[in-house]
Structure 1
Amino acid sequence: MSAVPTAPPPRPAGRWARLGWHWRHDPKIELWIMWWAMFCFYQLFGVVFALMTRVMPPPKPWWGQARIVQWFSDNHDGLLWGFGICFLISGLVASCNALIGYSMRRMSVSRAFPYAYIAIYSLSTLPGMLLAAILLTVGAMRPDRDPAILSWIYDAAFMTFVGTMGVFLVGTAIWMLAILLDRNRVFPLWFGYLNICNLLTEVVVAPVWIFQEGPFAWNGVITFWVDTLVFVVYTAAFITLLRRLVLREDFGEGVLPDLAAPSAGRA
């Protein structure tokens, strides 16, 4: 005779007691851990790349060797400490990929979509973050290198960071198609079209390998500032929509329930 599952105890009123209740009794605890890991990663990413290392916005692509050496010297500590943090938190990217892959499993599309997305975006961590971090760390650790070598490291780091986005294009296209083909409406259609906007930004960054000045250089109005604006809006949108997905999750099949319905795992 199978055991009858017991209902979880009521949630306590205190903040820490409520957190403990979620940890022990919330069936969505793994989803919430992934969501918070993803949320924390993007906050730390912004702090590291914008405030500590000064990689965003990127410095000028037309600088000569002497100015590039000076830039490494001026940002020496920030580069080492910032990218040290970056290497420590890089594994949190997996939480974002896992949660997005999970969302695709709730869609009416083939299971090939989530597996392809996870595979593509697992590879994208290298050109999207780690390769630039490795190159700039190498440059910062040896400021006495030949200026020509430091100049090469500088160019390689920023061209890969801004201009190597092919894997992101493919991954975004997979997610876009999954959303537009989905009959369960896990995500609203407008977010599928927003994926198209994000996909197009991955196309316009290609000229950074050609231009040193103007809107198509790696610090240009189009290839960096417009792309960054779209990326920030896009990222804020999918973080919010993934939170709504976790709130609505009922571990069933088909369409997710509306948020107005009671949810035992709501946080």
Structure 2
Amino acid sequence: MSERAQAIMIWWGLAFMYIFGFTLWGLLKMMPPPSATLTADQVAAFYADNSLHIRLGAMVASWTSAFMVPFSTVVAIQMARLERGRPVWAVLAFAGGIMMSIFLVIPGVFWGVAAYTPTRPAEVTALMHELALLTLTTTDQYYIFQMVSLAFLSLTHKGDVPDSPFPRWIGYFTLWAALAFEVGAFAFLPKSGPFSWNGAVVYWMPLTVFGAWVTTVSVAMLRALKRQAAAKMPQGAVSNDA
């Protein structure tokens, strides 16, 4: 895959991530989410009052929420450059990133379903609402595979591969981000406070760290791709590849 194609995929993923984030806030009304202490009738009223906005948000999320797919593809390709022999860490990172994207896609579908028929029984709407938010905040199962793989290669590769996008500080930052995400599973326990699904520890910290991590790794890869493209060019030629 050319450096230009990889750069396009990174920008594609970044653009979709930021559109999805705006959609969470402006249309889906899930930044921050409603309190987990709302009754079923209050949840149903929330979806009835915001039905059009939420359905529009679900539509936009249907187009943008799988942004981890192009991002994870380039991460895996760049990781494979650093491995000797079969790129098992790159494959694991790719698999983790692709599976991770599923649990960013599903919540938007559930929110759209919850808002689709405001006249249904309140308990059914509340169930869809809970499924969506708990899917968004507690599905930490796959993040760890991409992040630990990337951190491992960042911290252990010998520097014998030129123009790596993953210096050691990326490895340390990735490990910290992985720990920040893993607290999401606590959302199953309390309904209020910092560990609830709209709390500072379970919602705001992972959300902020996730956006910062994807952006930072993307910028590092874009810079490395420019260096990789320049290294392929004959001396004195001008590269248009990244």
Q: Return the offset for 1:262.
A: 7.9
After superposition, residues 139-154 of structure 1 pair within 5 angstroms as: 139-154=114-129
Q: Is the 8 A contact 2:68 2:100 kept in 1?
A: no
Q: Classify the secondary structure of the residue corresponding to 2:145.
A: helix
Gaps of 5+ in 2: none
Per-residue CA deviations over 1:2-45 (Å, capped at 9, x if unaligned) read xxxxxxxxxxxxxxxxxxxxxxxxx6331222122122112211
**2:52 is matched with which residue: 66, 77, 96?**
77
Q: Which structure's CA Rg is the greater one?
A: 1
Mapped partners of 1:28, 1:225: distance in 2 = 34
Per-residue CA deviations over 1:231-254 (Å, capped at 9, x if unaligned) read 2321221121111121111497xx
Corresponding residue of 2:93: 117
Q: Is the 8 A contact 2:66 2:101 kept in 1?
A: no
Corresponding residue of 2:158: 183
Q: Return the offset for 1:179.
A: 1.4
Mapped partners of 1:233, 1:53: distance in 2 = 22
Q: Is the 8 A contact 1:247 1:263 kept in 2?
A: no
Q: Is the 8 A contact 2:58 2:112 kept in 1?
A: yes
**1:231 is matched with which residue: 190, 204, 210?**
210
**1:219 is matched with which residue: 183, 198, 207?**
198
Q: Return the offset for 1:90.
A: 4.3
Q: Return the offset for 1:193.
A: 0.5
Q: Does 1:193 align with 2:209?
A: no
Q: Is the 8 A contact 2:190 2:196 kept in 1?
A: yes
Corresponding residue of 1:16: none
Q: Does 1:86 align with 2:65?
A: no
Q: Is the 8 A contact 2:165 2:223 kept in 1?
A: no
Which one-letter code corresponds to 1:166 in the other structure?
Answer: Q
Per-residue CA deviations over 1:150-192 (Å, capped at 9, x if unaligned) read 1111111111111111111222112111211222354111110
**1:209 is matched with which residue: 175, 188, 192?**
188
- Greater length-normalized contact order (CA 8 Å, ≥ 6 residues apart): 2
Q: Classify the secondary structure of the residue corresponding to 2:142.
A: helix
Greater mean deviation of Cα atoms: 103-112 or 78-87 = 103-112
Q: Classify the secondary structure of the residue corresponding to 1:249.
A: helix
Mapped partners of 2:13, 2:131: distance in 1 = 28
**1:68 is matched with which residue: 32, 43, 48?**
43
Q: Does 1:106 align with 2:85?
A: no
| Gap change, CA 1:230 and 1:182, over 3 Å in 2 | same
| Gap change, CA 1:213 and 1:187, over 3 Å in 2 | same
**2:146 is matched with which residue: 138, 151, 171?**
171
Corresponding residue of 1:19: none
The alignment's TM-score, normalised by the length of structure 1, stands at 0.80
Greater mean deviation of Cα atoms: 193-202 or 41-50 = 41-50
Percent identical pairs in the alignment equals 19
Structure 1: 4+ residue segments shifted above 4 A: none
